[in-house]
């Protein structure tokens, strides 16, 4: 691969920061306001959390590839990722509002859940994909703690209504897996994909 940079098709500042940590130069390739990016995240009936997160990541990458071509941008690898939180087979996406965030956090309280981040990279006609699965155990959290956390605004826009790199870290008793994967971009798997695509890391 001769490219010196990649496109990151994600609005997440954490994913950009994690790429910086790997030393990977990147440019954002974001959807225009007329693109209905949220429609890609609709869950199909009976869909498992694993199938869901991988399908959404593929759809996001398809959209990003088309976006680069439409904008006639220089060719370079395009990276997409999607993170979902699952309690059993129940998918906990981004909360619709504070009440929805309260519902999700109450469900996670005192339980172990999975955080799955799927990543996909495309360069030319080739596509590579990997899935990271981590387990996170929340301590029991009371309604006052949940309300105070929601007041910070942090749960909104986050899968499962929390961010491990934020104040919710105080709720987490144990993790098994990838801290960066829980943040939204598993660095080990991302580095592996980039090496497969020809990057030297």
- 82 given a catalytic annotation: yes
Q: Which of 36, 62, 82, 100 is catalytic?
A: 82
| Sole residue written with tokens 């129940």 | 90
Residue 111 in tokens:
């339980």
Which of the residues are catalytic? 82
């Amino acid at each position: 691969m001769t490219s010196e940079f990649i496109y990151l098709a994600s609005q997440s500042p954490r994913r950009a920061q994690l790429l910086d940590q790997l030393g990977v130069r990147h440019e954002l390739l974001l959807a225009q306001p007329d693109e209905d990016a949220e429609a890609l995240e609709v869950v199909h009936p009976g869909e498992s959390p694993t199938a869901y997160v991988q399908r959404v990541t593929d759809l996001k990458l398809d959209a990003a590839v088309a976006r680069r071509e439409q904008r006639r941008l220089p060719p370079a690898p395009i990276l997409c990722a999607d993170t979902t939180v699952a309690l059993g087979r129940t998918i906990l996406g981004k909360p619709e509002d504070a009440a929805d965030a309260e519902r999700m956090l109450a469900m996670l309280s005192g339980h172990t859940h999975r955080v799955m981040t799927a990543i996909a990279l495309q360069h030319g006609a080739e596509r590579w994909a990997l899935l990271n699965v981590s387990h996170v155990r929340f301590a029991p959290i009371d309604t006052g703690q949940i309300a105070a956390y929601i007041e910070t605004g942090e749960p909104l826009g986050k899968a499962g209504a929390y961010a491990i790199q934020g104040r919710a870290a105080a709720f987490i008793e144990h993790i098994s897996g990838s801290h960066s994967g829980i943040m939204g971009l598993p660095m080990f798997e991302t580095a592996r994909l980039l090496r497969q695509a020809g990057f030297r890391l």
